[in-house]
Structure formats: structure tokens, C-alpha cells
Homo-oligomer: A and B are copies of this chain.
Amino acid sequence: MIDVGIYGATGYAGYELLRWLSRHRHARVLFTTSESQAGRSLAEVFPGPLDAPLLAPDDAPLGDADVVFLALPYGVSALVARRARDMGVRVIDLSADFRLAAPQDYQRWYNHVHPAPELLPAPYGIPELNRAALQDAALIANPGCYPTSVLLGLAPLLRAGALTDPLVIVDAKSGVSGAGRAPKQNTHFVEVSESLAPYSIGRVHRHVGEMQQEAARLSNGIEPQIIFTPHLLRINRGILSTIYIRVPPEWSEEQLRACYTEAYAREPFVRLLPAGTLATIAHTAHTNLCTLSVTLAQPGLLIAVSSIDNLVKGAAGQAIQNMNVMFGLDETEGLM
């Protein structure tokens, strides 16, 4: 039995971790922390299916855990990671703190000196793209929700060297839980409810750094340049990324599709949809799946559509999948 600690259990990702772990046969939750709700119980904060005492982070028996999940703000997370590593406890970090391999990239995108550069680089936790590096890892950087969606949609083409133009256009739409639980004007129900709003478009969203780093690493051809347009969608969960890629005009849809089939045929959580079926957010809601569709709009232009649940494959589910890989368990354990 793997003893698990969860830091930040009252945020959306932390709660989702607990929900899925309650179904895991080889892991049990040893403790849960909350900065703001310490001293209360989870069922007091939200009277749903789960309960657990909420400890102040400093009161948690960190050393007794085999692995901890950190669902904490960036900057804070790395400090807990350092303490955990000092005690020999493994870490799966859901914040952005270990996603960028170089401290200077972190500083550029997060405007903050990296709090624990000695732990860098950490393997980037998308098992479908980076499995070998995650086995027996001591620290895994759990990816951002948008990057998971985009990289799964792009990787087969990047590996195949199929890009004919560096510009890759990603028009992404995310549910509001991606913006976290703290109330803000732009997540007020009335503002979101009858709208759809793009934000941080072009090359400025923080996830661009992470996507660029991994896309460059995956590419066997020209280095992609990602144009990223996120939109805030009036939905709780789910990300749909519609990706426009220039490919060799002589490649048929079948050839392009074959890149994806080969990459994902044995993956339990990635589902390439048959020709004519397009990925939608409903496919993956409340699951750890990624569904993908690929459509040749015209010779030379492919539209890949990628759907995930931002709180599952985009956060908590992928973190558990990473734990399963880390400890050599069946990768699907607890995630069906």
C-alpha cells in the first residue's frame, strides 16, 4: 500500500485527487492539508462524498508518506518539494514549479526566482510521451492542463517531422475550473454565463513556455512556434484544443492518421477517433481520457482536435497516472 499525502486538498485539483484516490486499490491517503481551512474537516468545507481532517501544512506527517501530491500555488510548491525530497519522500508536483527545465525560463514566465533550482530538471509527466523518464522518478512535474491537451494532439506529427511551417495555431477553450477556486470578476457567474472570452492570446500565456519546451524536445523536424489563443468557456470542466498544422501537401489524411495510430494504439487513455468523428468535450468529462480527431482540411493543412477534462487528464488524473508509473503499478489503476 502506498501512503499518500495531499497538499492543497480544498482546491479543485486537490479535491479531484482525493476523489480518484478513494477508488485506488494500492494507495491510501495518509493526510490532507489546507492553508485556509486548517482545523476543519473536508466534509465541513464541502458536504460531498469525501471526508478527511484538514491539517495545516506544517502539521502534516510528511516523513511518513511514500509520495506527496502538491496542489499548491507556484512558488510555494517548490519549498514543500524540497522538504519532501530532503526526507526522501517522492513528489508529484501539480504546480508549475518544475515544468520548465531551466531556472531562467521559470524566471521569465513566472517573474520569480526559482525557489529550488537544485531539484531541476524534473521529468515532465505525460506518460504517453515520456514514460521511461517517469519510472522510479523521485520528483515528477505534472504538466499544465492546456499543454497536456496540446502536446498529445501535436506529438505524433512532431515526431514524424511532418511540419512544413513552424507556426502552429492552437485555438483552445477551457472550462472555468481551470482558473482556480478563488472568486474573481472574470469568473463571476454572470460575467461568464452568457459569454465566451479569449484572454492572454498570442505568445503571452504562461503555458506557452512549457508547450514550447516540450514541443521542441519532441520534434524531429523544424522547431514549432506555437500561437496560443485560450478562451474561457462557460462550463466547469473540459478543454478542447483545435490545432492547425501545415503538413506536406502530398500527405494524405490516412498517412497523417497513421502517425497518431502508431503513437497511441496501445495507450489506454488516448483515443484516436475514426475519420468523420470529431473530438468534443463531452467525450472526456470526468475521465482520464484524451480523445483526438484529425482532419485534413485541404492538402497541406491538418486540423487536430484534442479533448481532455482539465481536472483529470489535465491535473489530478494524470498525477495519479504518474504515480502509477513511478511505482510500477498498472497505469490505469484507480482511473477507470
In the complex, are the beta carbons of A188 and B193 less than 8 A apart? no
In the complex, are the beta carbons of A203 and B278 less than 8 A apart? no
Residue A234 is within 8 A (CB to CB) of chain B in the complex:
yes
How many angstroms from the CA of A136 to the CA of B182 in the assembled complex?
A: 48
Most buried by B among A181, A195, A278, A289: A195
Selected from B171, B225, B273, the residue in CB contact (under 8 A) with A47 is B273
Chain B's closest residue to A300 (CB) is: B167
In the complex, are the beta carbons of B193 and A236 less than 8 A apart? yes
Residue A198 is within 8 A (CB to CB) of chain B in the complex:
yes
In the complex, are the beta carbons of B190 and A280 less than 8 A apart? no
Chain B residue contacts of A47, Cβ below 8 A: 271, 273, 277, 283, 291
In the complex, are the beta carbons of B188 and A185 less than 8 A apart? no
Chain B residue contacts of A98, Cβ below 8 A: none
Chain B residue contacts of A227, Cβ below 8 A: 244, 297-298, 301, 303
Residue A318 is within 8 A (CB to CB) of chain B in the complex:
no
How many angstroms from the CA of A44 to the CA of B277 in the assembled complex?
A: 9
Chain B residue contacts of A198, Cβ below 8 A: 240, 242, 278-280, 305
Chain B residue contacts of A283, Cβ below 8 A: 46-48
In the complex, are the beta carbons of B176 and A295 less than 8 A apart? no
The 0/1 profile, CB within 8 Å of B marked 1, for residues 192-211 of chain A is 11111111011100000000
The 0/1 profile, CB within 8 Å of B marked 1, for residues 227-264 of chain A is 10101011111101010100000000000000000000
In the complex, are the beta carbons of B48 and A284 less than 8 A apart? yes
Chain B residue contacts of A46, Cβ below 8 A: 283
How many angstroms from the CA of A22 to the CA of B334 in the assembled complex?
A: 11
How many angstroms from the CA of A185 to the CA of B285 in the assembled complex?
A: 19
In the complex, are the beta carbons of B287 and A49 less than 8 A apart? yes
How many angstroms from the CA of A48 to the CA of B194 in the assembled complex?
A: 14
In the complex, are the beta carbons of B282 and A195 less than 8 A apart? yes
Chain B's closest residue to A239 (CB) is: B196
In the complex, are the beta carbons of B297 and A201 less than 8 A apart? yes
Chain B's closest residue to A46 (CB) is: B283
How many angstroms from the CA of A169 to the CA of B244 in the assembled complex?
A: 8
Residues of chain A having any CB pair with chain B under 8 Å: 12, 22-23, 43-44, 46-49, 167, 169, 171, 173, 176-177, 181, 183-185, 187-199, 201-203, 225, 227, 229, 231, 233-238, 240, 242, 244, 271, 273-274, 277-287, 289, 291, 295-298, 301, 303, 305, 336
Identify 19 residue pairs between A and B in the complex whose beta-carbon atoms are under 8 Å apart, listed by A's number: A43-B271, A47-B291, A48-B287, A171-B229, A181-B188, A183-B188, A187-B188, A189-B189, A189-B193, A189-B234, A193-B193, A193-B235, A194-B282, A195-B235, A195-B281, A195-B285, A197-B280, A202-B297, A227-B298
